[in-house]
Structure 1
Amino acid sequence: MSQKKVDAYKAEKANREKIMKREKLILNLEKLAALVVCIVAVCWIGYSVYGKVTEGQETVQTETVMDTSALDSYLNGLSEDAE
């Protein structure tokens, strides 16, 4: 090996740990970015589907009226009997 190659190898070997840390950090950032993009895509698709499904539906409120006069008179009769 030439002296130039030996010097380059020694310099690379001295900084190997630093280089590997940087590469690992970059890899983790790339994974995080990909995860964020996937989560945003899934949320966007879900929201779009929900919007399409609920678009044609109307919310109808029904009001129910119940006559409780018979129940009230029955309960009043029970309380009068207890006294």
Structure 2
Amino acid sequence: NGEFALYVSNIAWEAGWQDLKDHFKQFGRVVFVDIARDAQTGKSMGRGIVRFDDADSAARAVQFGNGSIFMGRDL
């Protein structure tokens, strides 16, 4: 569908999807973000998906976002 998704781990428990989107938009146009949540508790599982609309943005996110600090944690 022309979207390029990245799996992101070690997301801070208190982070919301908008926080994650704001962090990754420095690499390009983010079209979707989701943070996995426990079905019973609704609490973050510390991992998620970030989708970009082009390969170059996704590649920049991999190159520069891997190991970047987000809310005090290394992604």
Query: Between Structure 1 and Structure 2, which shows a larger proportion of strand residues?
Result: 2
Largest Rg, 1 or 2: 1
Greater RCO between the two (CA within 8 Å, min separation 6)?
2
| Same topology, TM > 0.5 | no
In terms of fraction of residues, the more helix-rich structure is: 1
TM-score, length basis structure 1: 0.17
TM-score (normalizing by structure 2): 0.18
